[in-house]
Amino acid sequence: MFRWILGLSAQRLRIGLQNRMSTLCSPLAAVCQVTSTPDKDANFSSCKRLVEEAKERGASMVFMPEGFDYIGSSREETLSLSESLTGDTISRYAQLARNLKLWLSLGGFHERGPEWETDRRIYNSHIIINDKGDIVSVYRKSHLFDVEIPEKGVSLKESAFTIPGHSLSSPVQTPIGNVALGICYDLRFPELSLALQKHGADILTYPSAFTVATGAAHWEVLLRARAIETQCYVVAAAQVGVHHQKRSSYGHTLVVDPWGEVLGDCGGEKPGMVLVGIDLDKVSRTRRNMPVMQHRRDSSFYQSVEEFSN
């Protein structure tokens, strides 16, 4: 009996070491947590320090949250601070990526819309920049946060000044795997994550600025659900803390693996970063061992609800 216990302990130790070695050999993703304000220069300085730290620690790709550029205190301020993709903010990040030779996920950029001069509306855009400083993908948020929860103190109407995106973006091949783009409220729509997985995603991203009330209730459970149902890694950079007198965010930047295990959590108090190895073999193993996508019926089946009659 004692010999059997020793053998079991040795086996667990061996498995643990194998998992650790796999993580150590995997490309590293740095997932950041920040507190943006209306001060764009201060926000860039804070994000730049995190990106530089990520590079020093060996990251191949860095993820920033929704509103990394700024979070305005009013509709008027939010619109006045917005820019085009060729403006100063994205140019600075492109130069940063080029200088440090790493990839950036910039989630939730306030991009001026195509009819800016006449309608003064913007997109909420998730931008991927490669290690040469090139924009390789732009996804414009398709589900807008128009929610009133008086008992929780939540009142936001994103559609008042934001144009919904018209389509999903194909997953982007990066040094850490095929990265699929979402933004914040998109997290609540499993159809989006399933479509992206079907198109080859290894990693789902939800850069966010969740409110404190909705974050405490739903943030972790939704992220873990999206990971479990798609058998993807889920990377969710988040805003945290007080942005101005009218707005605070929940924080808890998370990384979840394809089994639904939380690999890293920045907490809900202050800016920071989690560094996680992305093991694509784990994606393959999870899908092979539990082949839910093979068991899925065709789309017509899920629309065929019949009334029971006896």
Active-site residue set: 66, 141, 184
For the chain, how far is it from start to end, CA to CA, in angstroms?
59
DSSP-based three-state secondary structure for 75: helix
Q: Which helix (H) or strand (E) holds 224?
A: helix 212-230
CA 200 to chain centre: 17
- Give the C-alpha separation, 263 to 21, whole Å: 15
> Could you tell me which residues are beta bridge partners of residue 179?
172, 203
Output DSSP code: residue 160.
Answer: G
Closest CA to 240 of 274, 208, 205, 262: 208
How much of the chain is in helix, strand and coil states, percent to nearest 5? 40, 30, 35
For 32, residues 6+ apart whose C-beta sits below 8 A from its C-beta are: 47, 50, 51, 54, 62, 63, 64, 65, 237, 253, 271, 272, 273
Instruction: Tell me which residue has tokens 């403006």.
Output: 87
